[in-house]
Structure 1
Amino acid sequence: MTATENTTAGIPDDDPSRSLTVVKPDDPDTTYLALAGDNYAMLIGGDQTDGRYCLIDMRVPDGGGPPPHRHNFEEMFTILEGEITFTFRGQEHTVPAGSTVNIPANAPHFFRNKSGAPARMLCMCTPAGQEEYFLRVGHVVDGPESAPPELSPEEEAAGRQLAVELAGQYQTEMLI
C-alpha cells in the first residue's frame, strides 16, 4: 500500500493537484481592498482551498465596520489587535485581542470598532465565497495602510447599491 492510498474508510485519497499555500507579510500578490471603511487583505481564497474556506486579514479603524447583515455561511473572527464590538442578534459583545468569535450561519450581526484605536482581526468564512463578493464591491488599494479612495456622495451611494444588489448572489442579506 502506498502513502496516498486510502487506509481509512471514508477519507479520500490525497489530491496531488492541490498545493501548499504560504502567504507572507507584504506578499506582492496580496490584494488589498478598501471596504466599509476598513482595509481587507485577501489572504487565502476558495481557489486555494477547493472552496472550503477563505481567510481575510481585516484592519478596522476606529468607527469602521460593515452594516447589519446575515449570510448562509459560518464566519469566525480572531482579534489580533485592539478590540471589536460585535452585535449578534441585537446584543452587543465587546471582544478584546486574543479572543475568537464564531458567527453561526444565518444569524443577524455586524461589528464596529468603538475602541478609539485601530483594530485588526482575521476572518475565516466557510465555505469560501465572501472574498469574491468583497472583490466585486470593494476598491483595490496599494497596501494594508492605504487610505480608501476619495468618493463623491454619488459614488458612495452607487457602491452601497451594488453591494445590496450583489448580496444575494453571495448568500448574503443586507439588513439596512
Structure 2
Amino acid sequence: MTDNTAVLRPDDLSRKATIVHADDPGLMHLGVGAGTYTILISGEQSGGRYTLIDMYVPSGGPPPHRHDFEEMFYILEGELDVTFRGEAHRIGPGQSINIPANAPHVFRVASATPARFLCFCTPAGQEEFFKLAGEPLAGRTTPPTPPSPERMAELRNIILTNAARFHSEFLPP
C-alpha cells in the first residue's frame, strides 16, 4: 500500500506575491541582440524556482544553442520559427512550445511584425546571463543600440566566456 499523504513545508512568509505589468515602472528592460527583454519575475522573487521574461524581438534570434534548464515560450504577438532537434515548427499567438533541458534549438522571428512572447525558464538564472550581456533600456519596446563592430566583439567574448557559468552551450549553425 502506498502512502498518498505528503507533508508540506510551512508557508514561507518572507516570500510575497508578485503582480506586474510589462510596462510597470521599475522593471528591468535589457537590449539583447535585436530584442528587448523585460524581466517580469526574477529568480530572486521566485526563490530561484523560475524566471519570467517578456521578449519583444523585431527580427532575428539567437544562434543555435542548448542549456540545462527548461524553457517555454508563449507567443503573444507575431510568429516564431523554432527549430528543435532539427525539426522546424512555426508558432504564433496563443501557442506555446516547451524546450526540454539540454535539447538543441534555435528560434527566428518569422512574421513581418515583431514577435512578443513570454519566456519561462526553470530553474531561474537565465535573467542573470541577460543582465551580464544586455544593455539597460528605458522601456519594453525601446530598441537596443546598434552595436559597433568593437562592441559586437566585446559582447561575443562576454557571452562565450560566461556560457558555461550559466549552463549554456552555443552550437555551430
User: TM-score surpassing 0.5?
Assistant: yes
Partner of 1:16: 13
Partner of 1:109: 105
1:39 aligns with 2:36: yes
TM-score, reference length from structure 2: 0.93
How many angstroms apart in 2 are the aligned matches of 1:156 and 1:65?
15
Cα deviation, residue 154, structure 1: 1.2
- How big is each residue's C-alpha offset from its partner over 1:55-102, in whole Å with a ceiling of 9 and x where there is no partner? 0000111x3211111000000110011111101112211111100100
Letter matched to residue 111 of structure 1: F
After superposing on structure 2, the runs of 4+ consecutive aligned residues of structure 1 that deviate more than 6 Å are none
Partner of 2:163: 167
Cα deviation, residue 148, structure 1: 0.9
Letter matched to residue 31 of structure 1: M
Letter matched to residue 143 of structure 2: A
How many angstroms apart in 2 are the aligned matches of 1:147 and 1:137?
15
Cα deviation, residue 166, structure 1: 0.6
Cα deviation, residue 151, structure 1: 2.0
Cα deviation, residue 24, structure 1: 2.2
Partner of 2:45: 48
Cα deviation, residue 123, structure 1: 0.4
Computed over aligned residues only, the root mean square deviation of the Cα atoms, in angstroms, reads 1.1
Identity of aligned residues (%): 51
How many angstroms apart in 2 are the aligned matches of 1:23 and 1:66?
26
1:139 aligns with 2:135: yes
Q: How many residues were matched structurally?
A: 168
- Comparing 67-76 with 142-151, greater Cα deviation is found at 142-151
1:100 aligns with 2:100: no
5+ residue gaps, structure 1? 1-7
Letter matched to residue 115 of structure 2: A
